[in-house]
Chain A
Amino acid sequence: MRIVIDVLIVISLFFALAGVVGMIRMPDTFCRMQSSTNIATLGILGVLIAGILYSAVCLHDPAMAVKLAVMMVFYIITNPVGAHAIAKGAYKHGIRRVDEELACDQYGEDLEDEE
């Protein structure tokens, strides 16, 4: 069982590393947010699932496992709300790519139509 837990932690560390590398290398704000979602999903969930297994199997503490599961549920529910707010706020604030244009920007076109 310890092997499964360790593998889960290593997988989530790998995705967290990928997310950080992406955040440094990506060209603009929105792509950096995409990369940070990598950390936010598999990076966190892997560690939490490993924690659930560890507390349930190795520590024999089901109450703690249940709390970790509740944490996971709340995390999944609340994370995208923040991502919407950041993305929309950054766009309306006028943050765009510096070096080249977006491949397509149907949101900007529709916003101009409304005004």
Chain B
Amino acid sequence: MKRAKFSAVLVTTILCFVFWLLITGQITALIAGKPSIQVLAAGCIVSILVAVFTARFFIHESAWYLLRPDRFFTLLLYCIVIFPIELIKANCDVAFRAFSPKLPVNPGIVKIPTEMKSEYGKSMLANSITLTPGTITMDVAEQDGKTNLYIHWINVTSTDPEKAGDAIKGTLEKWVGRIWP
């Protein structure tokens, strides 16, 4: 395991401290202009300690990657608009399947290729697919230099990797690809 860079530690510290502010409720006190110095100091010390020990697991690539505004706002847009739309569509579909008397399911495990290169991109795509009802990512495997996702799909309409990939990933991969290539 290689040592963490200073920038990685710094970014992890900032993130930990932001979460400390949010969870202890100090953020509202800061806005009101009367923060408690004790709580802030304790938060500083704890987040530096945590960051020193965990930065090497948390950040492997460029530390400032996500802090560039265009990527950050694409991430926000993805989390607030694009992904919830897909989520609601898939939720209605699976709820309909659960209630319909004939139980129209046709489950199977398909293998779909993905263009993602970075670790974060792969894991974010896999997590998005798992969070969408009707599809669960079972494994991520590399084969001949390509990354494949094995996905349990509740209604298999096509076993061809490309078509199944389009049906499952849909717009998700395009948007995740804009954040992490």
Measured CB to CB, the residues of A under 8 A from B are: 14-15, 18-19, 21-22, 25-28, 30-31, 33-35, 37-38, 40-42, 62-63, 66-67, 69-70, 76-77, 79-81, 83-84, 87-88, 91, 97, 102-108, 110
Contact = CB atoms under 8 A, between A and B. Distances in A.
A18 B23 CA distance: 32
Interface residues of B, number: 41
Contacts of B152: 30, 33-34, 87
A11 to B, nearest CB: 10
Interface of B: 19, 22-23, 25, 27-28, 87-88, 91, 94-95, 97-99, 103, 105-111, 126-127, 130-139, 141, 143, 150, 152, 154, 156, 159
A31 B87 CA distance: 17
Contacts of A80: 126-127, 130-131, 137
B95 A15 contact: yes
A91 B97 CA distance: 23
B112 to A, nearest CB: 9
Contacts of B159: 103-104, 106
Contacts of A41: 87, 91, 131-133
Given A66-B22, A80-B127, A103 B108 contact: yes
Contact of A66 (B28, B99, B111): B28
A30 B109 CA distance: 10
Given A37-B133, A104-B109, A91 B98 contact: no
A21 B150 contact: no
Nearest to B100: A25
B103 A107 contact: no
Residue of B99, B130, B135 ringed by the most chain A CB atoms within 10 A: B130
B103 A25 contact: yes
Contacts of B141: 110
B25 A22 contact: no
A63 B28 contact: yes
Contact of B130 (A35, A84, A104): A84
A103 B104 CA distance: 13
